Amino acid sequence: MAIESEVLVIGGGLGGLTSALAAAREGADVRLVSYKQSTLRQASGLVDVLGYTPDGDGPLTDPYEAIPTLPAEHPYRKVGVQTVRDALSLFDDAVPTYEGDHTDANALLPTHGGSIKPTARYPAGASAGLASDTRDTLLVGIEEMVDFDAPHVAAHLDATGVPFDVRGETIRFPGDLRADAKVTRYAKLLDTNSEVAVRGRMVPAREALAQRVNPLLEDEQRVGFPAILGDDNPGAIRDALSDHLGVDVFEVPMGPPSLPGLRLEDALFAALDEAGASIETGNPVVDFEGEDRIEKVFIEKNGARIPNSADQYVLATGGFVGKGVESDREGVYEPVFDCHVPHAADRYDWFEGELFGDHEFARYGVATDDDLRPLDASDDREFENLRAAGSVLGGYDFAAEKSGSGVSIATGYAAGQRAAQEAR
Amino acid sequence: MSDAETPPDFDPVAPNTGEEFEPVDVFPDSDDFDLRPGADSCYKCSTCDTNCPVAEVDDDFPGPKFQGPEQWRLKQSDDDHEIDDSVMDCSNCMRCDNACPSGVPLSQMHNTARGEYVSEQMDKLSVEYIRNRILANYRTSAFLASKVPRLANFAMNFGPARWVMEKTMGITSERDFPAFAKQTFRDWWADRGGQAQSRENARAARRRRGLPEDADKKVAYFHGCYSNYNTPEVGKAMVRVYEEFGYEVVAPEQKCSGTPMFANGMLDDARRHAETNVSSMSELVDEGYHAIASCTSCSMALRQEYPELFDIDGIDKVAENTFEAVEYLRIHEDLKGEVQAADVDGDLAEEFAYHAPCHSRNQGLDRQAVELFRDLDGAEVEDVGDSCSGISGTYGWKEEKYEKSMEIGEEMFEHMEHAEGETGMTECPTCAMQMEHGSGYEIRHPLELLEAALVE
Ligand SMILES: Cc1cc2nc3c(=O)[nH]c(=O)nc-3n(C[C@H](O)[C@H](O)[C@H](O)COP(=O)(O)OP(=O)(O)OC[C@H]3O[C@@H](n4cnc5c(N)ncnc54)[C@H](O)[C@@H]3O)c2cc1C
Ligand code: SF4
Ligand code: SF4
């Protein structure tokens, strides 16, 4: 016997989760299997659709307008503008704590590096921080968190010409935390509002934090913290801090490890559970059986190979970081189904001499037809019942275009929905 | 513990392994573990740190990234580097293991560092060492206590004795010791007629199901200490469910899986037990048996920790052929279909608040019970969230860890309270202890519900 489903999604990142959700909402019996935790825990949690063109033009005001001008092999061109919109609607519905769906225009958000980033959807926690908002801003850094140097970030933001005054101050987080406390430690303290010792007195954490910031506040109308304000109850924590401070409070998205990414992951898994899908994480898919069609795949568990079979499969194993695409001295390959990955034969053509140059490898990934089915070297479908989604796809450079999450959501949605329709 | 009530050979104040203990070098041949490739693949993304339940509440715990790749490097680059004692604060929940996108073997690194710390740096006469050793060797205490269950149940929870245990040994007096069963699983099994009876039952079930009577369906049950001494009803459910599907069950000779020993750095103790377990299981595997465990920490130990830590003949073979009890049926039978067609009434027609143990999560089984029982008429299983229960085996029994353990568990307690049901469910005996302790609920094992649904 094998563990059976109609649609089997391989990979539990943004691509796989959206795929499974789309398929489940289409009514299919869906199973999602994923090896390790996805790159969401490292990503900012912002959902970028398209911030710059592949030629570096931007920041773009309307990403949808720019999609038809992208190169033909770009994943957005394969699925089309309408699908990108539909996919984001699914996302908006599944993750109600995100904002940005009131407009087609990109929002401009301050980053923890002090730059401004065009993005399509952002967590509610970041919304009081929009760079287009003209309210003066105080940024508060935590002494122990070297990734967010508030005065430095403020100076950078100021230099980008934001339409407000911005200042940075650094505080010690209340309580006696170790110098390299984890972001989850701060979040937990604020979530539970546990008491911390401040000058010999025990004070609830939210209040204690506000007390540290209060004397620093001049006439700014909003205060930004690095994204550490809770894991389970971020809204309640922001409200409490706002009350204590008398101004709006927001979070600046941070680099890895990222609480907003973690919260987004939780929200998507919860939506998937709600939609009735089965989920298994912790073990990799290592092999498959089948010629033109995939009959079954094998999940490896400590040496045992567990067969899983389905009618339709979605490959959403990620790019180089997620280990969905790998390379060795011989070449670049996709390790699960050995799908063809187009790439330059000479390794020296994979990258440029410059660190931030236009590297080819950034666009490496499987090539597909318009139905997202991977193609082999002679442009024939690798398998009848396999589609690919997310950063395992080639033809785009998410870091340069600021399109990572958007491509994963759009292609995940398309692959999941079509797989479900075909499985019926 | 008061002398008057103490069974003569049950003395919790001295190491109670029943065997002489010589502290030995755990890794005489330290080349055994070249963890360098693992350490090298760490790219410091800190995903592991976001999973650590201890780092979330303990201001002094530096987290898995430090305990794993960083500590390992420090040790390699500097011969005099002493292992940081914070490694003893890791509860061995193994959540970090499951997290790393780069496949760094974090728990293996923690386990080896802890073993080395205990064997080379820890004072063997310290109260902490002795206490840890007693907690880790639960099987020995349980074995003795099960000889006089009523007396032991009384003595172990006798107030003044508990006060002394906390003061002199650092075993928290906040908790109730688990009750010992009047009849152990193994005694029940023997009384019932052992393997011969199981063969007969399996054959009868095959006839009922229209399967060939001599079908090759046989499993070796690794019941572990807990279902033997404390919750034999779980073991009985496992046997009855398997026989219902036509499997012949054997209950081979076995010792502790070693889980509490790994967590306390007692690798030498663990190895001795592992040798017995691997030897009896590997013989059976050769005869076509699969090893089945009802405790997720036991299956975790046999599947992952053994091959990561020990080099014993047959160890990989045993790992490959070990399964969790419900998982195995999901793979080999149409369990989903049978559950969908079944219903429960009576005692187990309940709403359950289900908690997935960390060690089941690590085997990809954290969703199994919820998904399996989704369509079962008469019972409802609700997941109470993905937090750690906080007890992590022996961790929550230590006086200095008790508060942290409860703080970690807080989220689970809250979710249990909000859940519809007032009965808990989990696969892990110590998680069950913590759930019961924090909520007052009675806790059942998924196998018990399965038995109620599928067995006449
Ligand atoms: C540091 C960083 C910062 C980023 N910042 C942003 C940002 O600000 N805005 C934005 O829009 N995007 C950002 N991105 C990009 C965006 O997060 C990714 O493009 C997107 O999340 C990729 O999702 P995915 O599902 O395609 O792949 P992944 O997230 O890589 O997920 C792949 C999953 O597949 C699993 N898997 C791999 N192999 C197997 C196998 N054999 N069997 C089973 N499972 C397998 C992996 O364990 C993993 O869970 C960032 C990415 C990174 C790394
Ligand atoms: S998750 Fe893995 S790669 Fe990331 S910091 Fe931890 S050990 Fe290193
Ligand atoms: S095993 Fe658990 S407690 Fe130990 S470092 Fe890893 S996540 Fe933390």
Residue B23 in this model has a pLDDT that exceeds 70: no
Is the CB of A236 inside 8 Å of chain B's CB atoms?
A: no
Decide if B421 is inside a domain: yes
Instruction: Verify that B324 and B348 share a domain, yes or no.
Output: no
A282 closest CB neighbour out of B323, B331, B361 = B361
Contact B288, B218 (CB under 8 A): yes
Pocket lining: B90 vs ligand 3, CB cutoff 6 Å:
yes
**Which pair of tokens denotes residue A81?**
């503008």
B131 CA to centre of ligand 3 in angstroms: 21
What count of residues does chain B have? 456
- At residue B134, the pLDDT reads 82
User: How would you class A28 by CB atoms within 10 Å of its CB: exposed for 0-12, middle for 13-18, buried for 19 or more?
Assistant: buried
Q: What is the DSSP letter of B393?
A: T
Final residue before a domain boundary, out of B330, B353, B388: B330
The residue whose two tokens read 């398309």 is A414
CATH number of the domain encompassing residue B437: 3.40.50
B363 closest CB neighbour out of A185, A262, A282 = A282
**Which pair of tokens denotes residue B339?**
């559950």
Backbone angles phi, psi at A314, to 5 degrees: -120, 130
Residue of the CA atom closest to atom 3 of ligand 2: B42
Weakest mean pLDDT among A236-240, A356-360, B22-26, B120-124: B22-26
Residue B200 in this model has a pLDDT that exceeds 90: yes
Mutation choice for B interface testing from A147, A182, A272, A296 by most B CBs within 10 A = A182
- At residue A356, the pLDDT reads 65
Is the CB of B362 inside 8 Å of chain A's CB atoms?
A: yes
The residue whose two tokens read 């699983």 is B185
Instruction: Verify that B200 and B314 share a domain, yes or no.
Output: yes
Count the Cβ atoms, other than its own, within 10 Å of residue A61: 12
Backbone angles phi, psi at A138, to 5 degrees: -110, 125
Residue B143 in this model has a pLDDT that exceeds 90: no
Instruction: Verify that B365 and B428 share a domain, yes or no.
Output: yes
B57 closest CB neighbour out of A3, A188, A232 = A188
Q: Which residue of B has its CA nearest to A277?
A: B371
CB contact under 8 A, A184 and B332: no
Cα separation, B263 vs B136, whole angstroms: 8
Domain ranges for chain A, please list them.
Answer: 1-98+259-421, 111-251
Domain count of chain B?
A: 2
Pocket lining: A314 vs ligand 1, CB cutoff 6 Å:
no
Pocket lining: A16 vs ligand 1, CB cutoff 6 Å:
yes
Instruction: Verify that B206 and B238 share a domain, yes or no.
Output: yes
Decide if B95 is inside a domain: no
B265 CA to centre of ligand 3 in angstroms: 14
Atom of ligand 3 nearest to the CA of B92: 1
Instruction: Verify that B325 and B223 share a domain, yes or no.
Output: yes
Ligand 2: residue of B65, B66, B110 to mutate (most ligand atoms within 8 A of CB) is: B65
CB contact under 8 A, A42 and B330: no
CB contact under 8 A, A41 and B316: no
Atom of ligand 2 nearest to the CA of B69: 7
Which of A165, A104, A118, A120 shows the shortest CA–CA distance to A139? Answer: A165
Is the CB of B59 inside 8 Å of chain A's CB atoms?
A: yes
Instruction: Verify that B214 and B319 share a domain, yes or no.
Output: yes
Is the CB of A43 inside 8 Å of chain B's CB atoms?
A: no
Decide if B197 is inside a domain: yes
Cα separation, A273 vs B409, whole angstroms: 23
Contact B54, B91 (CB under 8 A): yes
**Which pair of tokens denotes residue B352?**
């359950």
- At residue A355, the pLDDT reads 65
Name, in order, each residue with C-beta under 8 angstroms of B97's C-beta and a sequence gap of 6 or more. B105, B106, B107, B362
Contact B315, B306 (CB under 8 A): yes
Is the CB of A405 inside 8 Å of chain B's CB atoms?
A: no
Instruction: Report the complex ipTM.
Output: 0.89
Pocket lining: A11 vs ligand 1, CB cutoff 6 Å:
yes
Is the CB of A144 inside 8 Å of chain B's CB atoms?
A: no
Instruction: Verify that B360 and B391 share a domain, yes or no.
Output: yes
One digit per residue, pLDDT tens: chain A, 424 residues?
Answer: 788 999 999 999 999 999 999 999 999 999 999 998 888 888 999 999 999 999 889 899 999 999 999 999 999 999 999 999 999 999 999 999 999 999 999 999 999 999 999 999 999 999 999 999 999 999 999 998 988 999 999 999 999 999 999 999 999 999 888 888 899 999 999 999 999 998 889 999 999 999 999 999 999 999 999 999 999 989 999 999 999 999 999 999 998 899 999 999 999 999 999 999 999 999 999 999 999 999 999 999 988 999 999 999 999 999 987 789 998 888 899 999 999 998 888 877 777 777 667 777 888 899 999 999 999 999 999 999 999 999 999 999 999 999 999 999 999 999 999 999 999 8
Q: Which residue of A has its CA nearest to B304?
A: A302
Q: Residues B93-117: what's their mean pLDDT?
A: 90
In B347-430 the beta strands, taken as DSSP E runs, fall at 351-354, 380-383, 423-425
Cα separation, B252 vs B195, whole angstroms: 10
Domain topology for A1-98+259-421 = FAD/NAD(P)-binding domain (3.50.50)
Decide if B227 is inside a domain: yes
**Which pair of tokens denotes residue A236?**
């309640």
Residue B18 in this model has a pLDDT that exceeds 80: no
CB contact under 8 A, B56 and A188: yes
Q: Which residue of B has its CA nearest to A308?
A: B331
Final residue before a domain boundary, out of B330, B359, B392: B330
Residue B88 in this model has a pLDDT that exceeds 60: yes
Decide if B18 is inside a domain: no
Contact A193, A175 (CB under 8 A): no
Instruction: Verify that B326 and B426 share a domain, yes or no.
Output: no
Decide if B177 is inside a domain: no
Instruction: Verify that B369 and B276 share a domain, yes or no.
Output: no
Q: How far is A388 from chain B (nearest CA, A)?
A: 20
Mean pLDDT, chain B, whole residue set:
87
Pocket lining: B111 vs ligand 3, CB cutoff 6 Å:
no
Which of B62, B41, B60 shows the shortest CA–CA distance to B52? Answer: B62
Of A204 and B113, the structure prediction assigns the larger pLDDT to: A204
User: How would you class A38 by CB atoms within 10 Å of its CB: exposed for 0-12, middle for 13-18, buried for 19 or more?
Assistant: buried
The residue whose two tokens read 């990414």 is A261
Contact A202, A174 (CB under 8 A): no
| Residue A71 preceded by cis peptide, ω within 30 | no
- Domain containing residue B384: 341-452
Q: How many helices (H) and strands (E) does chain A have?
A: 11, 19
Instruction: Tell me the Ramachandran region of residue A214: left when phi exceeds 0, alpha when psi lies from -120 to 50, beta otherwise.
Output: alpha
Residue B27 in this model has a pLDDT that exceeds 70: no
Pocket lining: A318 vs ligand 1, CB cutoff 6 Å:
yes
Final residue before a domain boundary, out of B330, B352, B372: B330
Instruction: Verify that B194 and B311 share a domain, yes or no.
Output: yes
CA of B65, nearest ligand number = 2
B390 CA to centre of ligand 1 in angstroms: 30
Instruction: Verify that B232 and B356 share a domain, yes or no.
Output: no
Instruction: Verify that B265 and B371 share a domain, yes or no.
Output: no
> Angle between the A404-423 and A14-25 helix axes, to the nearest 10 degrees?
30
Name, in order, each residue with C-beta under 8 angstroms of B183's C-beta and a sequence gap of 6 or more. B191, B232
Domain topology for A111-251 = Rossmann fold (3.40.50)
A321 closest CB neighbour out of B63, B101, B333 = B101
Decide if B42 is inside a domain: no
Decide if B317 is inside a domain: yes
A13 neighbourhood in chain B, CB within 8 Å: none
Which of A367, A371, A396 shows the shortest CA–CA distance to A385? Answer: A371
